[in-house]
């Protein structure tokens, strides 16, 4: 009787282990395809290039595919940030409240903006559930490392052969931005994804390869000619150097100086020799050259209007609209209304966009989200968390789409999960040792 009970127990245990393995493999495949779809911007790019389903269809697909993970939700709750969920509830409340009381001023725009925010919230829920495993997070980090390296190559190819990444949809966008962007269409966005990749993967790159890794990413960011990208890249790199994530000795400093000199020589040789020397036509004839002449102090002011100067009147108009209702804002969707009916473009400033729609308190929406993502971070993960905070807070001065683009939303969920699991391997070892001693 006892033997039969033991045999039955062993059989059930074996069956349970097999089920856990299947769930784990399913979880890994789901996470890998999720990151591959959204962190690369494949969902947007290929929907216009070859007619794949729209991004919201992919979000729905992964939402349905994540349902099996709910059956083990009790064991995953410790990997899901409660503070991030708190921010989501606050964001829902602010959005719905504003929609109820202000939607009659701009009914079409407010409904569109509310749908966009709901989709972002759903995406945050899905990504938080998918990243609710320490082992999955480790695998995803290596995938992000690979994607980041591929993005460097894509940016360089986009610089040398600008038509290689131009689709029917983004052709006009590429011509307007005049910069390489790879799969991301927007060159600023392409640069920011490289910086996010650096933040999430710096710890898994061996120490001796970190400086070459940073130099390689800088080349990928450099070819986009994104000034906001340069600022954020140097800030994050400085943080990693200060907290010794990147070690600089005499040899490394020499390599760094040499790399910077070579890049700068390449940069100036294109501009200074363009008028008299026959260099590669693909490079000089593409629109990136216009951007080079804008940001190179040795050439002077370009005849092409500077992008930043064209944004200044937009920011001034947005600020004037905010001052007319500074406490409660103009209501959700007013930014879209202002864009379509008055100024033609958005302010490219996340804080100003929220202040326009929600008043002074709107300026706290994004900082609160960033705080909720990193407030549980362990001391060993401080440099990563701090770099992430600085990147998002600074980048939001240059973009109003931080809470819409899925690579950002995914990064919020991943960072909040990493903050919870940063010291779990150490804790698990301690627990295992205690259990072993107790068994004796």
Q: What is the pLDDT of residues 222-269, one digit of tens each?
A: 888 888 999 999 999 999 999 988 877 766 666 666 766 776 666 655
Count CB-CB contacts under 10 A for residue 101.
12
Q: For 279-289, write each residue's pLDDT tens digit.
A: 444 444 445 55
Q: Provide the total of helices (H) and of strands (E) in the chain, helices listed first.
A: 21, 0
Instruction: Please determine, for residue 5, whether its predicted confidence score (pLDDT) is greater than 70.
Output: no
**208 Cα distance to chain centroid:** 26
- Note if the pTM is more than 0.75: yes
Residue 410: both structure tokens together = 């995914």
Instruction: Please determine, for residue 371, whether its predicted confidence score (pLDDT) is greater than 50.
Output: yes
DSSP state of 363: G
Instruction: Please determine, for residue 50, whether its predicted confidence score (pLDDT) is greater than 60.
Output: yes
* Beta carbons of 29 and 89 less than 8 angstroms apart: no
Q: What pLDDT shows up at residue 7?
A: 53
Residues 266-305: b if buried by 16+ CB within 10 A, e if exposed = ebeebbeebeeeeeeeebbebebbebbbbebeeeeeeeee
* Calpha distance 253→249 (Å, rounded): 6
Residue 325: both structure tokens together = 């209702």
Residue 299 pLDDT level (bands cut at 50, 70, 90): very low
Q: Is the dihedral of CA 140, 144, 150, 151 positive or negative?
A: positive
């Amino acid at each position: 009787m006892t033997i039969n009970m033991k045999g039955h127990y062993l059989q059930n245990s074996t069956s349970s282990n097999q089920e856990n393995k299947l769930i784990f493999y399913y979880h890994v495949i789901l996470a890998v395809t999720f990151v591959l779809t959204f962190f690369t911007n494949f969902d947007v790019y290929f929907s216009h290039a070859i007619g794949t389903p729209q991004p919201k269809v992919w979000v729905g697909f992964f939402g349905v595919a994540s349902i099996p993970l709910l059956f083990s939700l009790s064991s995953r709750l410790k990997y899901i940030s409660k503070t991030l969920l708190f921010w989501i509830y606050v964001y829902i409340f602010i959005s719905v409240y504003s929609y109820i009381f202000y939607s009659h001023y701009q009914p079409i725009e407010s409904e569109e903006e509310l749908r966009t925010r709901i989709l972002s919230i759903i995406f945050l829920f899905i990504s938080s559930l998918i990243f609710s495993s320490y082992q999955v997070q480790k695998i995803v980090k290596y995938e992000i490392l690979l994607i980041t390296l591929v993005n460097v190559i894509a940016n360089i190819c986009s610089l040398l052969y600008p038509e290689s990444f131009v689709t029917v949809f983004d052709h006009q966008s590429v011509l307007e931005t005049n910069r390489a962007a790879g799969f991301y269409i927007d060159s600023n966005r392409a640069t920011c994804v490289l910086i996010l990749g650096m933040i999430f993967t710096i710890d898994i790159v061996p120490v001796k390869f970190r400086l070459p890794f940073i130099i390689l990413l800088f080349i990928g960011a450099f070819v986009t000619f994104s000034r906001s990208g340069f600022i954020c890249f140097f800030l994050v790199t400085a943080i990693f150097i200060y907290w010794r994530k990147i070690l600089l000795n005499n040899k490394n400093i020499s390599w760094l100086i040499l790399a910077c000199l070579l890049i700068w020589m390449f940069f100036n040789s294109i501009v200074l020799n363009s008028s008299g020397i026959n260099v590669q036509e693909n490079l000089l004839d593409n629109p990136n050259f216009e951007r080079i002449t804008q940001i190179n102090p040795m050439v002077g002011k370009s005849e092409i209007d500077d992008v930043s100067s064209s944004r200044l009147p937009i920011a001034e108009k947005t600020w004037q609209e905010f001052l007319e209702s500074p406490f409660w804002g103009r209501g959700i969707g007013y930014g879209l209304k202002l864009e379509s009916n008055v100024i033609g473009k958005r302010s490219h400033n996340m804080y100003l966009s929220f202040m326009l729609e929600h008043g002074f308190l709107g300026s706290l929406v994004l900082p609160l989200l960033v705080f909720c993502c990193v407030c549980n971070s362990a001391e060993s993960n401080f440099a990563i968390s701090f770099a992430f905070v600085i990147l998002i807070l600074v980048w939001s001065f240059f973009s109003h789409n931080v809470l819409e683009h899925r690579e950002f939303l995914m990064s919020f969920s991943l960072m909040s999960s990493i903050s919870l699991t940063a010291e779990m391997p150490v804790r698990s070892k301690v627990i295992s040792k205690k259990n072993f001693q107790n068994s004796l």
